[in-house]
């Protein structure tokens, strides 16, 4: 029975991650967020964070930059699947009730974003290891912290 729940949790977290990346990482939303959510309020920060793993198929950037951005967006989804599956609630098993499920999904999404940013930044046109680690720590950490609770809610709903 636990295997079914793990698969359900993994599937739901991955689908929510895919929806977040497709809906809010598209060029139209990213452009809108950059031009309309430019204040310092919490809602503006949230709207800008939603657009962080962006994807595009055209643009004025180099092919390598476009590939890095697209790969980062894809890897956020793939690594969400990997981390939700691999973490499997083990560290949170001592936490009672839904809090453990919620933290499981949120933490997995933070890790997924960090690893995706690290790899994506390493293949960008001005790649350096220190720059990639910095991007993973700052951009991905902020993204995972600000947006990851949505995936946490999905994992809570799957087993709750």
Q: Where are the domains of the chain?
A: 2-159
How far apart, in whole angstroms, are the C-alpha atoms of residue 121 and residue 130?
A: 10
At 7-29, the pLDDT tens digits run 588 889 999 999 999 999 998 99
- Listed residue (35, 30, 17) closest to 105, CA to CA: 17
At 55-109, the pLDDT tens digits run 887 767 778 888 888 899 999 999 999 998 887 655 545 555 677 788 888 999 9
Contact 142, 80 (CB under 8 A): no
Hey, what are 7's tokens? 């698969």
Q: Residues, the chain, total?
A: 160
How far apart, in whole angstroms, are the C-alpha atoms of residue 20 and residue 23?
A: 5
Q: Which of 19-33, 45-59, 134-148 has the lowest mean pLDDT?
A: 45-59
Residues 6+ apart with CB under 8 A from 35: none
Residues 6+ apart with CB under 8 A from 159: 5, 8, 9, 98, 101
Hey, what are 99's tokens? 């809090």
Contact 17, 109 (CB under 8 A): yes
């Amino acid at each position: 029975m636990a295997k079914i729940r793990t698969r359900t949790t993994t599937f739901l977290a991955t689908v929510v991650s895919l929806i977040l990346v497709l809906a809010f990482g598209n060029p139209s939303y990213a452009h809108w967020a950059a031009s309309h959510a430019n204040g310092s309020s919490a809602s503006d920060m949230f709207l800008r964070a939603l657009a962080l793993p962006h994807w595009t198929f055209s643009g004025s950037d180099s092919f390598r930059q476009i590939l890095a951005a697209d790969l980062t967006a894809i890897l956020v989804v793939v690594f969400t699947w990997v981390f939700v599956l691999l973490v499997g609630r083990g560290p949170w098993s001592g936490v009672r009730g839904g809090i453990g499920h919620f933290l499981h999904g949120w933490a997995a999404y933070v890790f997924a974003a960090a690893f995706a940013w690290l790899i994506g930044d390493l293949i960008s046109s001005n790649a350096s290891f220190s720059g990639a680690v910095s991007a993973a720590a700052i951009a991905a950490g902020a993204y995972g912290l600000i947006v990851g609770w949505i995936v946490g809610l999905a994992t809570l709903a799957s087993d709750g």
